[in-house]
Structure 1
Amino acid sequence: MILKVDSLSKNYDLIQALDNVSFQVKSGEVFGLLGRNGGGKTTLIKILTSMILEYSGRVWFLGYPLNERKHTIFFKQNIAYLPDKDFLYPHMTPTQSIRFFTDFFTDFSTQKAQEIMKKLDIPQNQKIGTMSKGQAEKVGIALILARNARLYLFDEPLAGADVISRDEIFKIIQEYCCNGATIIATHLVSSVEPILDSALFLNKKSMAYASKKDLLHGFSNLEDSFRYYAADSIIKPLKQSDVEVENQMQ
């Protein structure tokens, strides 16, 4: 088990950001943290990256309690995080950014970064500050994927990308994160659906949490499932097939 979250809650004064959230992520799994803006996704990601240390409930990463400060360096060495805001230096080119990451992260692969950037058709010598939002996002994604981490966290990774680019990038994320676990926090449910193994529908509470197969039961796509389970503050039980109901009754 890479990550285990148990009864996680977070308040900001009188505002409830997260309410009793629980889930697990296994090695090799692509996990969707799916919710509307303001639903608690970024707060949860900040807890997982040790940016927020005060909360109720428990979080374990590789068996260690995540809020223990003595393990913070270990967590940062094994978690690769792409924030929802610009984090690259605009005066640098992708080539210069690769050199910077090589010096900063011991698990960073220059060869892998160059390979991913070539697949994404990223100009190597153009300053990041002059790129479109979608192109700059691709640079960030390539740099994060070039690490050999145990857990990859992506917070709204493709806000500036077009539909075709999203499909391409999500496939690359799936390909290069296969040796670790991956969490993608996004409201782009239909775009991320093809690569997910399981998902949590988050609206401050766990509105639904299951494998993609179970979340799709009774729905033609994950977006329809999301609209049903996460539409309001009332938690609905997962829909079950007639066979499952009969088995439970026996």
Structure 2
Amino acid sequence: MPYQPTVLMTAIDHSPEKSTGAAAVQRVSARPEQAALVDAVRTLYPLHHATSTRPPLKTSDLSEMHGQRVTMLFSNTGNLFNAPQLIAVQGRIVTHALTPLGLIHKGRRTRGTEITESNLVDAVPGWGDTAVNELRTRLAKTHALFPDTIAPLTAEVLDTIPPTNHSTDSPPVTTVLLTSTQLPGEERVHGCLRLITDRTPNPGDNAGDILNNVLITPPSYLTSEHGSIHTSQLPRNTAVLPTVTPLSLATALDLAHDINHQDPARSYLQALAALTPRP
């Protein structure tokens, strides 16, 4: 049987569903909230595992490994739903001057995957269950930064956000969203947290209501800041996180300040831990 990569984390949901006949059919779909989580885990993985002696892996680190057996952790959206996945692929590094850096899959002579900065997450030497399980363990540690339970962003969730109270300058955070954002012409940044305090109704405008929030971003070109966003501007791939309550606007602003003015990676991880309940 031809070798198949191992899917370690995916936004694709396989839900069994009974048919009216004797056979059962399987419903396959991509879950937007799970997609937000997979993208966030991929973004945080190198920050979470980086140390002074083991910086985030770069393609240049593989340039001297031609022919070596490795098991690589890739981010991948090559599926019917264009849904994010994290997969372990066993193969041999190929580094020819006239071809892109690549990984020829185990048991193949030509079939492989081009290795780029955007799809490369991690790598361990060797093949087999030990190598795959090492990547599985590392990935699970980053996944564990997030709550076990996440929920999709629905109209019902938005309706629970309280309307703006103009009698207070410091409304509490009521909803935490795991999402992504970008500036025009720039790459999308995943793993962003929007700490929603209140909602300003905006009837008659197709842009939707205005959500006042504090944006918390992982290290990127973005700035963590206080602002607002229309509901129509929220990406489809957004998850609702359970929150630690109460959380004041002042505390949320302090978290944003620390990310902007201290160690961004460490401050973001500390903010995530402060915002989400731990077991």
Smaller-chain TM-score bracket: under 0.3
Q: Say which structure, 1 or 2, has more relative contact order (CA 8 Å, 6+ apart).
A: 1
TM-score normalised according to structure 2 size: 0.22
TM-score normalised according to structure 1 size: 0.24
Larger strand proportion of the pair: 2
Highest Rg: 1 or 2? Answer: 2
